[in-house]
Amino acid sequence: MVDKISQLFLRISPYAAFVLFPITLWCVFFWVPSDAFLGLNQRIFYYHVPAAITCFLGFASGGVASGIFLKTGNKDWDHAAHASVGIGLLFGTILLATGSVWARTAWGTWWTWDARLTTFLVLWLIFASYLLLRMMADDNEMMPRWAAVLAIVGCVNIPVVQFATRLWRTIHPQVIRNPDGGINDPAMQATLGLCLLAYFVMFSWLWALRVRMLRMHDRVDYLLDEAYREGNA
């Protein structure tokens, strides 16, 4: 199933991405009106919010794929989880970077320990440790299972992290569904939707490429072992 999904993405997503991203650029920089209060720099939000959603999507699907892997033992799902977390982390990095740039102009600081920023930084760290674990134990046959458990534990921990940091402090703007100052303009909503779609497409493409790469990596390992065995026998 993982194979079929990634094949499909590889066939469709590159074209979709090449069409969608130029359109989002035009929308964000020329078409959509500036926010009345926040001004020009608010436009980064169209790339910032989709990054947050895509990052969540990556971590969550990493958790789900890990669960399926533990249940079935099918290595394809391990690759799917590995790719999801890796690409999710990439989008998490985009999220933190764009957020930081925006915070500099809006709040006058590159970083602040606001609840949402902190949540994502913590999640970023949790899933970075997932990739590190995979690197540090690549000689251990149990590693995929360990990584899977870590991904699931990380996902289950997300609400706890969110709750704790929100309780801790918050100054992050509530943009969506906030009657005063939120985005009510249809053009803004359309742009956001389009950017979200473009990000999903990008995610699926990168994910599929990564899955294919991991499969090939395994295949090479297998063939090397095989060749070594043959040479040795």
By CB under 8 A, name the binding residues for another protein: 70, 73, 122, 125-126, 128-129, 132-133, 136-137, 139-143, 145-146, 148-150, 152-154, 156-157, 160-161, 163-165, 167-168, 218, 221-222, 225-226, 229, 232-233
Q: Which is nearer to another protein, 16 or 128 (CB)?
A: 128
Q: How far is the CB of 66 from another protein (least distance, A)?
A: 10
Q: Answer whether 90's CB lies under 8 Å from 64's CB.
A: no
Q: How far is the CB of 60 from another protein (least distance, A)?
A: 17
Q: How far is the CB of 143 from another protein (least distance, A)?
A: 8
Q: Quote the CA–CA distance of 175 and 158 in Å, as a whole number.
A: 21
Q: How many Å is the Cα radius of gyration of the chain?
A: 20
In the structure encoding, which two tokens stand for residue 110, read together? 């590159």
Q: Which is nearer to another protein, 151 or 188 (CB)?
A: 151
Please count the other Cβ atoms lying within 10 Å of the Cβ belonging to residue 61: 21
Q: Which residues pair with 35 in a beta bridge?
A: 39
Q: Which is nearer to another protein, 141 or 180 (CB)?
A: 141
Q: Which long-range contacts (CB under 8 A, 24 or more apart) does 103-111 make?
A: 105/41, 106/38, 106/41, 107/171
Q: How far is the CB of 213 from another protein (least distance, A)?
A: 15
